Structure 1
Amino acid sequence: MFDLDGVLVDSEPVWEEVRRAFVAEHGGTWQPDTQARLMGMSTGEWAAYLHELGVRLEPDEIARGVVDRMAARYRDEVPLMPGAVETVRRLAEGRTLGLASSSPRRLIDVVLDAAGLAGCFAATVSTEEVERGKPAPDGYLEAARRMGLDPRGCVAVEDSSNGLRSAHAAGMRVIAVPHPRYPPAPDALALAWRVLPDLSALTPDLIR
């Protein structure tokens, strides 16, 4: 099971830039811990949180405006993580892959299509499609359900604190590939079965 943002796509800097600008333009105040708190939230959750920061729009308008800007950025370029395409294709040979992401469905589809990876995943889940976003386990549990798998037999690849907590709460064995700019909290990293320096270290032998 793969996460998307921060694992396959170096999108967290883009999300931060877009949401910071949106908050400033609409009367809100970005806090020192805002980016860390947003990572892993579902669309509805982060839109409500930005509203609490003082953005003078309703959460559904906030979500629509931010996602529109993200989609526009992705149309120019999808910032794939080094080795993302090769790693997914390598692991897809003889294995069933899934994806559980906090990104909206619209952006998941744009990224996977642009990267030519859509056919590598048996199921993809946006936390828009479940009750709770990360750190709750809902997205990972739904991905396993759609694939007909026991979550306890799955391995999840994550980068963020909330993502690591989510996959662990789902009962999955968790591999952490921390993002150098947004490292997970020590207590979340301690939940990982393995910590890897980058995707190139995620090999079929390790999964076996």
Structure 2
Amino acid sequence: MIENVIFDMNGVITDDEHLHELATQKVFETIGLTITPEIYRQYCLGRTDASAFCDMIKDFQLKNIEVASIISEKSIVYQQLVADNLKVYPGVIMLIERLYQKYPLAITTSSTFEEVKTVLNELYLENRFKTVVSANDVQRGKPDPEPYVLTAEKLGVLPENCLVIEDSENGIRSAIAAGMKCIAITNTENRDKLTLAHYIIEDYSEITNELLESL
């Protein structure tokens, strides 16, 4: 039985993956690496900046680069971009408000805490989520199960009683490995990348009470 609903943020609530990509491009451009859309998708989509940037620094043999410094710079650029360009997916705010009436809600995201705080403040959603697990809280980001396992611990619930809403293959793998149910939405990935989820939707109106009760 579903007792809690956990939202990923980027690609699920916020239509801002392009802003993360642009911020990443801007920061790495200053150290001599051009981040193409292919590189961003391969290394960054659905992962923490710490994991993605460490892998890029190693694979592209970037010297004398402090990962923490790059993460901080990217976060600052992202927050500047999102202040004027934040978009949300159609129907997701209505879904959050509807689910909030029945379920404790949480956010589990690969974004930093400061990025999450900026977004929730912009959307006036600070009090809708019982807990937030960000990249700052984990050693191993998605697709490792740690982020969702920690979310269940912070909520004080069993993973099998949690439903996750995700948009990326890495996010789905994390939720499933944690023992949770997962609905995937085709906001950022093709359907064939989301087949590990328990259910795939194209619009938030498809998340009905009947669907939740059937999972």
- 1:34-183 → structure 2 map (5 Å cutoff): 34-52=40-58, 53=60, 57-179=65-187, 182-183=188-189
Percent identity between the two aligned chains: 28
CA contact (8 A) 2:183 2:197 kept: yes
Equivalent pair of 2:184/2:197 in contact (CA under 8 Å): yes
| Greater relative CO (CA pairs within 8 A, separation 6+) | 2
Q: Which runs of 5+ in 1 are unaligned?
A: none
Query: Which consecutive residues of structure 2, in runs of 5 or more, have no partner in the other structure?
Result: 1-5
Alignment match, 2:25: 20
Cα separation, 2, equivalents of 1:50 and 1:129: 22
Q: SS at the partner of 1:124? A: strand
The 1:71–1:113 alpha-carbon spacing in structure 2 relative to 1, beyond 3 Å, is same
- Tell me, in whole angstroms, the C-alpha distance in 1 between the residues paired with 2:208 and 2:170: 24
Name the aligned partner's letter for residue 30 of structure 1: I
TM-aligned CA deviation for residue 140 of structure 1: 0.8
Q: Report if the CA contact (8 A) 1:29-1:54 is conserved.
A: no
Query: Given the two structures, how large is their TM-score scaled by the length of structure 2?
Result: 0.88
Runs of 4+ deviating beyond 4 Å: none
CA distance in 1, matches of 2:88, 2:195: 26
Determine the C-alpha separation between the residues in 2 that align with 1:140 and 1:37: 20
More displaced stretch, 46-55 vs 100-109: 46-55
Provide the secondary structure at the position in 2 that maps to 1:66: helix
User: Are residue 191 (structure 1) and residue 199 (structure 2) matched?
Assistant: no
CA RMSD of aligned residues (A): 1.8
Structure 1-normalised TM-score? 0.90
* Change in 2 beyond 3 A, CA 1:55/1:89: farther
